[in-house]
Structure 1
């Protein structure tokens, strides 16, 4: 499985231009070509206690444009968990594309996504030193965490 050391510094493998199945060439773009098995991500941020209800309410009705952009940027199995004692939000997702940096640029280029980030960032406190917002880019607003065990 492809696993760059950092999703923003190491390029993902390029999508195969075509593959062969017996003696039949399968063109790129055909659904039968090899699919990226994906890379799992985990991230944390703290939810401010005074915004718990607002955060839950907005995530109960995520804007359709935001959901579409997430899918269009090759993100699957995205979930956010909350620990009421520590206030930590823990997000997990699987990236199944071949150009993480490019897909994240496309995500950040969507005005509705940026509006969503401005709203939800206001409910959160970043663990990343020097982080300003999700919109600002680097350093990242959500702190990446290391996966130490996974049983599929």
Structure 2
């Protein structure tokens, strides 16, 4: 199991909408993530910069961002495209972060 972190960017003024959509995450999307070894998935918001900081545990080789070929993820990305910075395929602009400290 590995822990992976990445950052994304929220569009200004849409923190409430972003949270609402994630509070109502689609059950089939949640199942897909779990079935692909994604767990302990959290997203934090820095309200000063609109930077989203995500961290997840992975029991496998891929992250949630690697599931973009599935229909449910494509649909989710299209649903979220208006609230965050995205690539032309609607995937979130996601920048991997390097772990520099860990305390057990």
TM-score range, shorter chain: 0.7 to 0.9
Instruction: Pick the aligned partner of 2:70 from 110, 116, 119.
Output: 110
C-alpha RMSD of the superposition: 1.8
Q: Which protein, 1 or 2, shows the higher relative CO under an 8 Å CA cutoff with sep ≥ 6?
A: 2
- Aligned position for 1:30: none
Structure 1 residue 121: Cα displacement: 2.9
Structure 1 residue 55: Cα displacement: 0.7
TM-score (norm 2): 0.85
List structure 1 segments (4+ residues) > 4 angstroms apart after TM superposition: none
Q: Structure 2: where are the runs of 5+ without partners?
A: none
- Aligned position for 2:97: 145
Matched, 1:43 2:35: no
Structure 1 residue 151: Cα displacement: 1.1
Structure 1 residue 100: Cα displacement: 2.7
Structure 1 residue 113: Cα displacement: 1.7
Instruction: Pick the aligned partner of 2:53 from 90, 94, 119.
Output: 90
- Aligned position for 1:73: 36
Q: Structure 1: where are the runs of 5+ without partners?
A: 1-37, 135-139
Structure 1 residue 112: Cα displacement: 1.8
Report Cα offsets for 1:82-119 as digits up to 9, x if no partner: 0111111000001112x438xx3xx3232122111112
Q: Distance in 2 between matches of 1:115 and 1:84?
A: 26
Count of residue pairs brought into register by the alignment: 101
3-state SS of the aligned residue for 1:44? strand
Q: Distance in 2 between matches of 1:143 and 1:92?
A: 12
Structure 1 residue 141: Cα displacement: 2.3
Q: Distance in 1 between matches of 2:62 and 2:9?
A: 25
